[in-house]
Amino acid sequence: MADAQGRSPRLQHVHWSRRPQLIAPVMLVAFSGWSDAGDAASSAVSLLAEQWRARPFAAVDPELFYDFTSTRPLVRFDAHGEREILWPEIEFSATTVPGSDLDVILLVAPEPQLRWRTFCEQIIGVARAFDTRRVVTFGALLAEVPHSRPVSVFGVGHDADTARELGLLPSRYEGPTGITGVLQALSREAGLPSSSLWAAVPTYVPASPSPKATLALVDRASRLLQVSLDLTELKQAARDYEDEVSSLVDDDEETRDYVRQLEERFDEEEPRLLDDGSTLVEEVERFLRDQD
């Protein structure tokens, strides 16, 4: 039953600005916060939205889902010199990928602190409103990997059919989880196929944005979705990032020795990592269990 504004109970916190015409879209989701090391996951989905010129069509009211002492609103002056408050943004956008017939819905938002089930119900409700064929979440974690080697990325299918169809690892993780884990679980309960992509960011550069990890996620997503992308600028940013981190590492003998050890271990383990992804899976599970 809908309310007076025509909203279903599942979507009572979603405000629509338009209703795009979409055919069996794929939904791409990333949350800034603990699952977004180096801003890689949120930057990846934001880059896709920008490159594909996605247009907003709906937003979730943030009032019920955020502790504003943790995720603080911002104040700024508008074009008329008036002070305004910018609240945390949970905005859906959509488009058809240029050069293809693939429709996509994209969402980038801060990880909420409150009412995770209700929050995820809003996302799943939007997905079901357009007969979304798959939900793909993006994540990035801090791991003991060297910045000077290819970024480790692996995909996980959160139901057996998706894992088999896309050639992903089946998810066997047990332990603490974040909003991405809740969204994946509720998607499965709602009958929505789901998967996730994770990239590893070096532990010794935790606060710096990592365009190299962003590039790895975007590249993996383009292969997953079977679409082509112009990644020229992002590739240059990734090279600049690697050069800058290398310069900083070279200035500190202790860090330089540590990175050398990571490089040696990476080179030894790379065949196993490429074969079944188990090395990075272990890193992901360790990362999740270490969360407070």
List domains and CATH numbers for the chain: 9-289 (3.40.50.10900)
> Who has greater pLDDT, 236 or 277?
236
Residue whose token pair is 């990890």 = 213
Q: What is the mean pLDDT of residues 69-85?
A: 86
Tell me, what's the pLDDT at 111?
Answer: 93
Buried b (16+ CB within 10 A) or exposed e, 247-263: eebeeeeeeeebbeebe
Which residue type sits at 152? Answer: S
Give percent of the chain above pLDDT 70: 82
Q: What is the pLDDT of residues 217-246, one digit of tens each?
A: 999 899 889 898 999 999 999 999 999 999
Residue 73 is given by DSSP the state: -
How far is 130 from 256, CA to CA, in rounded Å?
Answer: 51
Confidence bin at 167 (pLDDT 50/70/90): low
Is 119 a residue whose pLDDT tops 80? yes
Q: What is the pLDDT of residues 32-56, one digit of tens each?
A: 988 899 999 999 999 999 999 999 9
Tokens of 189: 């309960």
Question: How confident is the prediction for the chain on average, in pLDDT?
Answer: 84
Residues sharing a CB contact under 8 Å with residue 216, sequence separation 6 or more, in sequence order:
40, 150, 151, 152, 153, 199
Confidence bin at 280 (pLDDT 50/70/90): low
Q: Which of these, 201, 228, 98, 92, lies nearest to 143 by C-alpha position? A: 201
> Which helix (H) or strand (E) is 93 found in, with range?
strand 91-96
Confidence bin at 275 (pLDDT 50/70/90): very low
